[in-house]
Amino acid sequence: MNLINIMPFGQIAEITGADAFQLEAADTDQVQQALYKRFPALEKRAYAIAVNKVIVKDNTMLSSGSVVALLPPFSGG
């Protein structure tokens, strides 16, 4: 397993109660499973996942030190 840096933003940070924390995970699916176990309220929230500043839609492999950002819905103009 890899030690991953998690950075929640906006409403997601309010749910987690932290600006940053770490989890052990090999991929983004494992990150989500760990988040849902630790913060059940996240299962009902929509958010995007970015790995090292790139938004990902599919399961993505992670390496130690990867930064996973949890981004609440946002609109552009």
Total domains, the chain: 1
pTM: predicted TM-score of the whole model, two decimal places: 0.92
Domain membership of residue 50 as a residue range: 2-71
pLDDT tens digits, residue range 13-40? 999 999 999 999 999 999 999 999 999 9
- Torsions phi, psi for 21 (to 5 deg): -160, 175
pLDDT above 60 (res 1)? yes
Q: What is the largest CA-CA distance in the chain?
A: 40
Task: Confirm whether 76 is domain-assigned.
Answer: no
The Cα 39–Cα 9 span in angstroms is 15
Supply the CATH number for residue 32's domain.
Answer: 3.10.20.30
